[in-house]
Amino acid sequence: MHIVVFGAGALGTYVGARLEEAGEDVTFLVREGRAQQIQKNGLYIWSAKGDYEIINPRVITDPNDARDVDLVLISVKGYHLPATLDNLKVLTEKGAYVLPVLNGIEHIETLKIHLGSDSVIGGLSFIMATLNDEGHVIHSSDFHDLIIGELEPTQSTICTKFEEISQKANMHATRSDSISLELWNKYMFINALSGITTATNLPIGPIRANKETFYVAEKVLREMKMLANAYGVQVSEADLETAKTKLWRLSKEATSSMHQDRRKDTTLEVEHLHGGAIRLAEKAGIDLPYTQTIYGIIKPFENG
């Protein structure tokens, strides 16, 4: 299978490298600056699950240079997605399916509108990864989960093929037959975790240690459950409890990628995540007061 990783950042490089390590044909579609950095420093992942270097990575900056693409793994930040749509179209017109692994929900509809519903597979990841100054991936969590699933029945064959190859790779890859529920469960979890860690500028430990602060995260979980339910996705009380348990199980220094971005003084995905939830809530005629407050607190830090 020929896989194009669109955006060789922390998550895309990690998954792309694991697939290449498993013997798959992987091409990285990047912008000029990243292409030069890869040429200078190489493509490495440093991980407790096993370090890996891609020897002679195949890197392109123009989608027209990609031949016979089966699948495009989209791993740009939410705020970069609009600028990728024309290049993605070039790839879907060659017959590729796209598998976005971004956090969030709104991007699924955006991609469907621009590329057609049949082209867009559901996907998400649980991992803590970031790029260091050399552009190498630092994988700091003991989990590295990738979940995929068809959003349309026509995607069954490509999902089966990708399931087979990704399960041979050094990561925990699974296929879900309720990917919309998985996407919303992740959205619920990430809006609580990234919201509370970024707004307080603290990792999860001190947040849990102050019940008044953890209470806010719990309220965000509840609002996100309500939002999912308003969109017909049956996020349940049990799912909410699972998300809460996950927040308790994280190591005390653990934090969200948005909070890591705040620490690095770079752009935050707050508009894509919390802003997206507020837009969806407005359309559904519901209020999300805790999410709205978190959004307001983070907003001044959005542009670094």
Ligand X SMILES: CC(C)(CO)C(=O)C(=O)O
Ligand Y SMILES: NC(=O)C1=CN([C@@H]2O[C@H](COP(=O)(O)OP(=O)(O)OC[C@H]3O[C@@H](n4cnc5c(N)ncnc54)[C@H](OP(=O)(O)O)[C@@H]3O)[C@@H](O)[C@H]2O)C=CC1
Interface ranges with ligand Y (CB under 6 A): 6-12, 29-31, 33-34, 75-78, 80, 83-84, 101-103, 125, 127-131, 257, 269
Coil, helix or strand at residue 42: coil
Closer CB to ligand X, residue 156 or residue 174? 174
Spatial contact of 291 and 220, defined as CB atoms under 8 Å apart: yes
What is the full DSSP assignment across 206-231?
HHHHSHHHHHHHHHHHHHHHHHHHHT
Side chain identity, residue 128: M
Residue 76's binding partner, choosing from ligand X, ligand Y, none, with beta-carbon cut-off 5 to 8 A by kind?
ligand Y
Closer CB to ligand X, residue 158 or residue 247? 247
Closest-approach residue to ligand Y (CB): 9
Give me the least distance between CB of 40 and ligand X, in Å please: 27
Angle between helix 106-115 and helix 276-284 axes, rounded to 10 deg: 80
Two tokens at 94?
């060659």
The four Cα atoms 208, 214, 217, 221 give a dihedral, to 10 degrees, of 90
Two tokens at 258?
């948005």
Determine, following the binding rule CB under 6 A, whether residue 75 of this chain makes contact with ligand X: no
Judged by CB under 6 A, how many residues of this single chain contact ligand X? Answer: 10
Contact window for ligand X (CB under 6 A) among 39-47, 73-81, 126-134, 235-243: 126-134
Two tokens at 188?
């619920």
Determine, following the binding rule CB under 6 A, whether residue 243 of this chain makes contact with ligand X: no
Closer CB to ligand X, residue 67 or residue 249? 249
Contact window for ligand X (CB under 6 A) among 76-84, 122-130, 227-235, 286-294: 122-130
- As a whole number of angstroms, the distance between CA 130 and CA 139 comes to 7
Residues 135-194 that bind ligand X (CB under 6 A): 190, 193-194
Give me the least distance between CB of 70 and ligand Y, in Å please: 19
Tell me which residue of 180, 135, 184, 145 sits closest to 166, measured CA to CA.
145
Determine, following the binding rule CB under 6 A, whether residue 256 of this chain makes contact with ligand X: yes
CB neighbour class for 282 (10 Å; exposed up to 12, middle 13-18, buried from 19): exposed
Residue 193's binding partner, choosing from ligand Y, ligand X, none, with beta-carbon cut-off 5 to 8 A by kind?
ligand X
Residue 84's binding partner, choosing from ligand Y, ligand X, none, with beta-carbon cut-off 5 to 8 A by kind?
ligand Y
Contact window for ligand X (CB under 6 A) among 50-58, 120-128, 203-211, 295-303: 120-128
Whether the CA torsion 94, 62, 164, 145 is positive or negative: it is: negative
Residue 16's binding partner, choosing from ligand Y, ligand X, none, with beta-carbon cut-off 5 to 8 A by kind?
none
Determine, following the binding rule CB under 6 A, whether residue 127 of this chain makes contact with ligand X: yes
- As a whole number of angstroms, the distance between CA 153 and CA 169 comes to 25
- As a whole number of angstroms, the distance between CA 142 and CA 193 comes to 18
Spatial contact of 219 and 281, defined as CB atoms under 8 Å apart: no
Give me the least distance between CB of 141 and ligand Y, in Å please: 8
Q: Of the candidates 46, 79, 126, 231, which one interacts with ligand X according to CB under 6 A? A: 126
Interface residues with ligand X (CB under 6 A) are 103, 125-128, 190, 193-194, 256-257
